[in-house]
Structure 1
Amino acid sequence: MASVTPQVIETDPTNGVETPVVPIDTSDIGISETEKTKKLEKLLADRPDKTELIEKNVLKPGNLAPSLQAKQAELEKSQLEDKLNAALAHRPDPEILVKEGILTEEETAALKTE
């Protein structure tokens, strides 16, 4: 089946003359279908297995579907954020830490300027 190539017109910027340009025929460039098939089969045969991908941190371990793995990771991150926010909400004020000798006045002044 022959493909229809659009006509390309080039304009010379020096004199404004338009001339038709013959596009390059790329239909026969490349490798044959059998060579493509062989190359694909070789690539598929040489690809790493699941355990190797897990070791390289390409895949996450587990038997969950990738969409569920993403949701699981999102849930774990959310739970960690909640735990951190709860811990930060219950930490003592810098003044109490100075009284207990954990912080110095200079350190609390540095915290206030940040």
Structure 2
Amino acid sequence: DDNNSTQILAKLLSYCFDDKLNPGLYNEIKDLSGKNRKIEMEGRTRLFVALGKKDKISPSKLVKFIIKNTGVRNSAIDQVEVYNDFSFITVPFKEAEIILGVFQKNSGKRKSLVVKAKKSKLNKQ
């Protein structure tokens, strides 16, 4: 009885959903735990900082400022570029989340001092 009802249900599902039940139509589900998740967290991102030379910021002062406010380690911050009105830093995704979280929390209703950098118009095609 139990085996017969299982077969009937299987045939009914097969009839109703036909190719939707074909495993060949679906991609393999990616494992987001362990090693594969680590790769994702090891990527890097660029952050925009609303401080620049006009604010008496140098690359070393900017790095110290970020470290002091977030606790992110010095070695995580690189590609520091300081312009007159703003700066850019590159950090791993994990540290970027920490930095963005701290500065968003501290900004209250004002715009955050640090945000994820937008893609350059020159790089968009």
Q: TM-score, normalised by structure 1?
A: 0.30
Question: Higher relative contact order at CA 8 Å, sep ≥6: structure 1 or structure 2?
Answer: 2
Q: Say which one has the larger Rg.
A: 1
Higher strand share: 2
